[in-house]
């Protein structure tokens, strides 16, 4: 008689019924889930879905033609504690649902608090669990005990891991001996019909844009210092720096450097993200610490050149269509910005993004890679 512990020793076929899961409400996780599901529907094999009904893009997830189960989580810090009994109930409900639908593989597409605590534990032992890890280490200022515990549980109970850059794989190899599949993060909103290359703007100031949670590691102060340096050169074309988002670093708006940027302090709804990105001439990510970046994929999908610092996988993500600072310093970032303000360089970077989009990994290919392992 076959032991339960032996049921996972035989590799599953890629086409085995697979449930893709993300229980987060905001940020890139729900969008990542949506794109993966839409890609997986082009592959062979049963596709199932579990998501948070309070996610910003839940209405789009609801329309997908796949069996699904919704798992609500919490809407506030207090809700994290008060919602624990409901989490236990929903964990049992999810487990029964997986068995009823004969699911053979569960993929957690991105870590989130409740999901990382519960999903690896509730998946039946006979079902393969794949944990997608986007960051080798939690971002500075975004890590807490619960998140660290969730990462421990993910790594312990996953049958294998998937990540989206060689840089993150190298970090994970120090944390786990599990098999690690490495794909690449396809551009969000990748259009199969292609996008036109951009031309250097004329008749108005050039726009450098940054958006999202304004955490310390995002390098907001570094950007303001770089802009001040660049503006001291009368030969530099007129430009604007737009910072849209909210978080701890929004206090810099009222600092002596605050006038180096135009600020829009608010949460950015998911349905505004694409139009917001398209309003930039270049996206700037002067991070002081990073594994990889979702916004870079949005820039690439719209043929928007990037300016990045040489941290984590940012240089490889922006390779060909981005200017990479030589170091993480205001002067180096200013020089990278200066290069993008040259029309010939700008036009070439945008054209390179268009060319890369023709050959970059699609969401269907990434879904198949995660299935295959």
Note the pLDDT tens digit of each residue in 318-364.
Answer: 999 999 999 999 999 999 999 999 999 999 999 999 999 988 889 99
Higher pLDDT, 6 or 331: 331
Q: Check residue 145 and give its pLDDT.
A: 84
Mean pLDDT of 36-56: 94
- The Cα-based distances of 107 to 133, 207, 309 in angstroms read 11, 39, 31
Mean pLDDT of 276-302: 93
Confidence of residue 78 (pLDDT cuts 50, 70, 90): low
Instruction: Select from 303, 353, 31, 301 the least CA-distant residue to 192.
Output: 301
Note the pLDDT tens digit of each residue in 220-262.
Answer: 999 999 999 999 999 999 999 999 999 999 999 999 999 999 9
Domain-by-domain residue ranges, the chain? 14-182, 206-359
Lowest mean per-residue pLDDT among 69-73, 84-88, 96-100, 113-117: 84-88
Q: Residue 351 has what DSSP assignment? A: H
Sign of CA dihedral 234, 240, 245, 246: positive
Neighbours of 43 (CB within 10 A): 15
Q: Quick check: 45 pLDDT over 90?
A: no
Chain-centre distance for alpha carbon 204 = 32
253 three-class SS: helix
Mean pLDDT of 144-161: 92
Q: Check residue 327 and give its pLDDT.
A: 97
Sign of CA dihedral 36, 37, 38, 41: positive
Confidence of residue 141 (pLDDT cuts 50, 70, 90): low
Q: Check residue 138 and give its pLDDT.
A: 75
Supply φ then ψ for residue 244, to 5 degrees: -125, 125
In CATH terms, 14-182 corresponds, of 3.40.50.2000, 3.50.50.60, 3.30.70.2080, 3.40.50.300, to 3.40.50.2000
Please tell me the distance from the alpha carbon of residue 206 to that of residue 218, in angstroms, as a whole number: 21
Please tell me the distance from the alpha carbon of residue 70 to that of residue 68, in angstroms, as a whole number: 7
Note the pLDDT tens digit of each residue in 120-131.
Answer: 999 999 999 999
* DSSP-assigned states of every residue in 47-64: EEEEE-TTSTTHHHHHTS
Q: Check residue 190 and give its pLDDT.
A: 66
Q: Check residue 193 and give its pLDDT.
A: 62
Mean pLDDT of 94-110: 97
Please tell me the distance from the alpha carbon of residue 225 to that of residue 246, in angstroms, as a whole number: 19
In CATH terms, 206-359 corresponds, of 3.50.50.60, 1.10.260.40, 3.40.50.2000, 3.40.140.10, to 3.40.50.2000
């Amino acid at each position: 008689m076959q032991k339960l512990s032996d049921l996972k020793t035989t590799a599953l076929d890629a086409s085995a019924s697979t449930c893709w899961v993300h229980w987060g409400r905001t940020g890139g996780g729900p969008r990542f889930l949506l794109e993966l599901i839409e890609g997986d529907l082009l592959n062979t094999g049963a596709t199932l879905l579990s998501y948070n009904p309070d996610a910003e893009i839940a209405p789009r997830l609801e329309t997908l033609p796949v069996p699904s189960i919704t798992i609500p989580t919490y809407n506030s810090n207090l809700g994290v504690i008060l919602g624990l009994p409901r989490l236990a109930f929903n964990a049992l409900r999810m487990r029964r649902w997986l068995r009823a639908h004969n699911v053979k593989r569960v993929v957690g597409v991105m870590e989130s608090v409740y999901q990382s605590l519960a999903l690896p534990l509730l998946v039946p032992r006979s079902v393969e669990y794949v944990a997608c890890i986007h960051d080798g280490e939690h971002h500075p200022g975004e890590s807490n005990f619960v998140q660290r515990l969730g990462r421990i549980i993910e790594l312990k109970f996953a049958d294998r891991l998937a990540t989206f850059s060689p840089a993150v794989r190298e970090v994970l190899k120090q944390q786990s001996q599990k098999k690690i599949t490495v794909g690449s993060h396809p551009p969000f909103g990748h259009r199969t019909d292609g996008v036109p290359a951009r031309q250097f703007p004329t008749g108005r100031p050039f726009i450098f844009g940054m958006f999202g949670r304004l955490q310390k590691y995002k390098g907001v102060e570094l950007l303001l210092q770089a802009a001040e340096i660049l503006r001291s050169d009368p030969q530099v074309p007129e430009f604007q720096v737009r910072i849209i988002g909210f978080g701890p670093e929004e206090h810099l708006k009222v600092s002596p450097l605050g006038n180096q940027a135009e600020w829009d302090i608010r949460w950015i709804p998911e349905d505004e993200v694409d139009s917001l990105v398209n309003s930039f001439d270049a996206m700037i990510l002067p991070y002081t610490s990073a594994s990889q970046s979702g916004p870079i994929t949005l820039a690439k999908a719209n043929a928007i050149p990037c300016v990045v610092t040489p941290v984590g996988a940012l240089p490889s993500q922006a390779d060909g269509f981005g200017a990479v600072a030589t170091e993480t310093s205001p002067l180096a970032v200013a020089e990278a910005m200066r290069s993008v303000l040259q029309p010939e360089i700008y036009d070439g970077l945008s054209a390179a993004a268009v060319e890369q989009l023709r050959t970059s990994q699609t969401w269907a290919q990434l879904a198949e890679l995660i299935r295959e392992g």
